[in-house]
Amino acid sequence: MQFQAKKINRAFFAIWLIAITFGLYSCDTASGKMQNNMDIQNQDSTSWKAKQKTMVQTQIIDRGITDSAITAAMESIPRHRFVPEEYAEYVYRDGPLPIGHDQTISQPYIVALMTQALELSGNEKVLEIGTGSGYQAAVLAEICDSVFTIEIVQPLAEQSETLLNELGYENVFIRYGDGYKGWEAHAPYDRIILTAAPEKIPGVLLQQLKPGGIMILPVGKEKQVLQLIRKTTSGEIQQETLIGVRFVPMVKGE
């Protein structure tokens, strides 16, 4: 009995030693894999940052955008997160990209130009018509007090809300609905921006613009122009045409 007990103890010890050795090896291997993944993420992050910096310099600053708050925002926001994965490698190039549902993310320069035209100081409440990917809302949220944004395509509204929440934007409020009706509950707005083109300026949005406020929007059907609207303190509407543009049409609700 004593001999058998010794044999059992030795067998148990051998099994225990193998288990410990294998466990240590497994932990070490897992740690190595985790470290490799972290290295890859860091490399990816560095690569994206370099592309963001180049985009801001060559497409925005070199074209005359002088507002440092805008350039800082666009250099910090991960634009590649706002497009389908298959387009991520193209997102820092000079042009718009599809985001699904016949909608697009605007060219970086146009985002910067329209944002600069709003003359933001940091305290404004902004209404955005056409949330789309959520990128323009993110740029605005980095600069102004609050952003109320409306999207008529429900899947885009939901995707944008999820992403903006994930990125920590607590001052962006998204609503699925008809942009032609604006968002009366939070009116009037200091600034209004449209990222889709109506054939003419929606009167409801002019009403929701605060006296002394500014609106920027593309207008037209076949031929579109970017228009800057100022509402004087007395309520007078002043219009200025900036440049020719090409946006997706603004869709009316049923």
Copy the structure tokens of residue 122: 């940091």
Q: Is the residue at 121 inside a domain?
A: yes
Residue range of the domain that includes 207? 63-245
Q: Which residues are CB-contacts of 87 (< 8 A; sequence separation ≥ 6)?
A: 97, 98
Q: How confident is the model at residue 253 (pLDDT cuts 50, 70, 90)?
A: confident
Least confident of 26-30, 40-44, 191-195: 26-30
Rounded-to-integer distance, Cα 252 and Cα 83, Å? 24
Q: Is the residue at 31 inside a domain?
A: no
Q: Is the residue at 98 inside a domain?
A: yes
Indicate which residue of 31, 76, 106, 234 is catalytic: 106
Number of domains forming the structure of the chain: 1
CATH number of the structural domain spanning residue 223 = 3.40.50.150
Q: How many CA atoms lie within 13 A of 94 on its CB side?
A: 9
Q: Is the residue at 231 inside a domain?
A: yes
pLDDT in tens, 122-143: 999 999 999 999 999 999 999 9
pLDDT at position 67, please?
Answer: 97
Q: Is the residue at 4 inside a domain?
A: no
Q: How confident is the model at residue 44 (pLDDT cuts 50, 70, 90)?
A: low
Structure-model confidence comparison of residues 90 and 30, the more confident one:
90
pLDDT at position 10, please?
Answer: 52
Tell me whether residue 106 is one of the annotated catalytic residues. Answer: yes
Q: Is the residue at 171 inside a domain?
A: yes
Q: How confident is the model at residue 32 (pLDDT cuts 50, 70, 90)?
A: very low
Whether the pTM exceeds 0.75: the reply is yes
pLDDT at position 8, please?
Answer: 40
pLDDT(51) > 90: yes
Q: Is the residue at 133 inside a domain?
A: yes
pLDDT in tens, 212-249: 999 999 999 989 999 999 999 999 999 999 999 999 99
Query: What is the gyration radius of the CA atoms in the chain, in angstroms?
Result: 26
Q: Is the residue at 24 inside a domain?
A: no
Strand partners, 193: 128, 216
The average confidence (pLDDT) of the chain is 87
pLDDT(49) > 80: yes
Average pLDDT (36-47) is 51
